[in-house]
Amino acid sequence: EALKHHYAPQMSILFSSMLSIYQHYSGFVAQAIKDKGPVAARHFEVKLMMGVKKSALKLLKVFFDTSLEPDFLYETVVPDLLDPVLGDFTMCEVPAAREAAVLSLFETIVKKLQHRILGELPRIMGALFSRTLEMITANFQDFPDHRINFFKMIEAITTYCFDVYARIELSQLQIVINSIVWAFKHTEHNIMETGLNALKLMIDRVPGSSLEGIFYVNFLDQLIEDIYTVMTDTLHKPGFRLQSDILLSLCRNITSGKVVQPIFNTSAPENATFNNSTYLHHFLVQLLGDAFGSSLSPDDVKRYVQGLLDIRKNDKETRELMRDFLIEIKEFKDADNSALFSEERDELVASQMREREAALNSVPGLRPQLATLGDE
């Protein structure tokens, strides 16, 4: 890490030998597990071998992260890297023996190589997604390192290689969407926020892309329902700002006409009279009416949806409308809803700090000497 890209010549010499060691230790670990069963992953000698593998993966991550030659990495390093690392992760039958560092490495590879890695990404995603999801979807606690690394990898793919989503099968894209939903259903803040950020990035890039029709027809209803699920369950209040941003983006992309392809099944007879905006209005009224009919009247729901889809309202006004809606439903009425006002609280603190700084700067000598030195 200290030498950064200056270590590249030495790493180029070591790479083949290090990869060979990784493959040998992978074989030793796999054989031990085959001979002695899953318990072998906890044996001292096997844990040592797994430690060597983890160190190799971390070194590769630093190598990719600090390199200034992405073309060299793609042409020379990646081809030799994929088979042993992906193969080991996929073939390993014991979840505890699958290294979370593999996911972190490929997050770094995606960030460094960006469009160069697009051709290999479907294979990478196919190898890593199913194995990781079977580890992390049983509950919200097991394999915490795998969880955060996996969701960060999805965020990196969405940010730097968005076009890959148009190259994969619909079933694979469904897995990606389900993974993001699983992320923002966590109550652990970092994971929840990573999932919400990844979804917001995806939604912002879909309009006008080749993914537009596929995305909205197949996933709009699911995503709106899932966002409202976490927004109204009282466990995910700290995510309100991002949740509301996502709903705003989904709705505004449609009501503004940014999304031009149909967002509903046009062949269904019941959809014959809809355009995109009227379909969205109908879907929201039905969804929220069914979910919160015990707290809100049909007219209350219709007024809320009308305000939500009103393009004349700015983002702040619409977010206030969402917050008022939450406070009206019975799950929130007698609860501590301070987390819903975190944005205003943060703005107030920032404003007070700016005022204090302005006051200190306006009077010579008033600012503490140490603070002045620190600024310099």
**Contact (CB, 8 A) for 321 and 307:** yes
What is the pLDDT at residue 300? 93
pLDDT in tens, 314-330: 988 999 999 989 888 86
Structure tokens at 182: 């699983």
pTM: 0.82
pLDDT in tens, 79-116: 999 999 999 999 988 898 999 999 999 999 999 999 99
pLDDT in tens, 185-221: 999 999 999 999 999 999 999 988 889 889 999 999 9
What is the pLDDT at residue 346? 66
Q: What is the identity of the amino acid at 191?
A: I
Alpha-helical runs (H) found in the chain: 8-36, 44-66, 70-72, 78-91, 100-113, 121-136, 144-160, 170-184, 189-205, 212-231, 240-255, 276-292, 298-308, 315-328, 330-333, 342-362, 369-375
Instruction: State how far the Cα of 149 lies from the Cα of 136, in Å rounded to an integer.
Output: 11
**What parts of the chain have a pLDDT lower than 50?**
370-374, 376
Instruction: State how far the Cα of 259 lies from the Cα of 272, in Å rounded to an integer.
Output: 19
What is the pLDDT at residue 41? 87
Residue whose structure tokens are 């409202």: 228
Instruction: State how far the Cα of 369 lies from the Cα of 267, in Å rounded to an integer.
Output: 72
**Contact (CB, 8 A) for 324 and 240:** no
Instruction: State how far the Cα of 181 lies from the Cα of 110, in Å rounded to an integer.
Output: 21
What is the pLDDT at residue 196? 96
What is the pLDDT at residue 57? 94
Q: Where do the domains of the chain lie, and which CATH numbers do they carry?
A: 211-359 (1.25.10.10)
Structure tokens at 83: 């088979």
What is the pLDDT at residue 358? 77
Structure tokens at 175: 């897995």
